[in-house]
């Protein structure tokens, strides 16, 4: 189910070309705010229930928000059916930018492509056939900003914020349960904390989650060391999950 209809008029009114924070951090797209944290709409409601791999980030950042809204604007003007708009936006915007290259490199190094029968993890984001194997999402489906900057999962922690945890409990958890066969890859400590809470509450088994995958953001200076520390274990878990 897509909510694009509620925002269609405003999104279509946006000017051509790339979009700025001044054009997107506006009341027409604001879902809620507590004064410090603000949550905005993006057309990210497509769920691929047949996916074999589910990658979970913290929340879309402004780069992803801008690409997704721009994609929706262009699709609306081209007459693309509402039911397809969210899927297109998510495919283009998910983990867009340098962190997608970092993520692909790490997935290749734990032999994910071989386990699911493809040549490269890059195909999960680019190939029309292979992308059906992937579902991307975030603990908080919609972009969150703290004082106008990308929220990083800290200060407050998601589990300590009633407003933020609400999105995890009411949107992410049903999404995880709907994509039944996928190996779940939570990216970074903040995401893993939420997924471990779901495990502790009995919603899923721990062996379904590939814990300790570092967040692929270029701002994560410890990414290489964190990845190398867990690489062999994650590689074995990938082989075990898809060989079961």
Domain of 190, CATH number, reads 3.40.470
Per-residue model confidence (pLDDT) at position 181: 93
Q: How far apart are CA 208 and CA 19, in angstroms?
A: 38
Q: Which of 67, 120, 58, 132 is nearest to 96 (CA)?
A: 67
CB-based contacts of 98: which residues, under 8 Å, 6+ apart? Answer: 218
Domain count, the chain: 1
Per-residue model confidence (pLDDT) at position 35: 84
Neighbouring C-beta atoms of residue 233, cutoff 10 Å: 13
Mean pLDDT by 10 residues, the chain (244 residues): 94 97 98 95 96 96 96 97 94 87 95 95 82 92 97 94 97 97 96 97 95 86 90 96 91
- Give residue 12's domain range: 4-242
Per-residue model confidence (pLDDT) at position 87: 93
CB-based contacts of 178: which residues, under 8 Å, 6+ apart? Answer: 47, 49
Per-residue model confidence (pLDDT) at position 99: 86
Per-residue model confidence (pLDDT) at position 127: 67
Q: Phi-psi bin for 228: left (phi > 0), alpha (psi -120 to 50), beta?
A: alpha
Q: Which of 20, 224, 185, 186 is nearest to 102 (CA)?
A: 224
Residue tagged 């909510």 (tokens): 3
Per-residue model confidence (pLDDT) at position 217: 84
């Amino acid at each position: 189910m897509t909510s694009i209809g509620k925002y269609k008029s405003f999104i279509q009114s946006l000017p051509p070309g790339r979009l700025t924070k001044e054009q997107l951090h506006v009341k027409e797209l604001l879902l809620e705010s507590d004064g410090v944290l603000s949550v905005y709409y993006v057309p990210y409601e497509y769920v691929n229930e047949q996916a074999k791999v589910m990658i979970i980030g913290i929340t879309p950042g402004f780069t992803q928000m801008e690409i997704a809204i721009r994609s929706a604007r262009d699709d609306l003007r081209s007459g693309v059916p509402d039911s397809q708009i969210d899927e297109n936006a998510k495919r283009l915007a998910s983990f867009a930018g340098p962190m997608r290259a970092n993520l692909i490199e790490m997935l290749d190094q734990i032999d994910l492509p071989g386990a699911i029968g493809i040549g490269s993890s890059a195909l999960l984001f680019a190939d029309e056939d292979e992308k059906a194997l992937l579902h991307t999402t975030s603990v908080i489906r919609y972009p969150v900003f703290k004082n106008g900057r990308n929220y990083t999962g800290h200060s407050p922690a998601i589990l300590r914020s009633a407003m933020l945890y609400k999105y995890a409990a009411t949107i992410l958890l049903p999404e995880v349960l709907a994509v039944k066969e996928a190996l779940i890859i939570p990216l970074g400590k903040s995401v893993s904390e939420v997924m471990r809470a779901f495990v502790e509450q009995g919603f899923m088994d721990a062996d379904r989650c590939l814990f300790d995958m570092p967040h692929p953001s270029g701002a994560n200076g410890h990414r290489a060391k964190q990845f190398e520390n867990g690489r062999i274990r994650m590689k074995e878990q990938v082989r075990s999950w898809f060989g079961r």
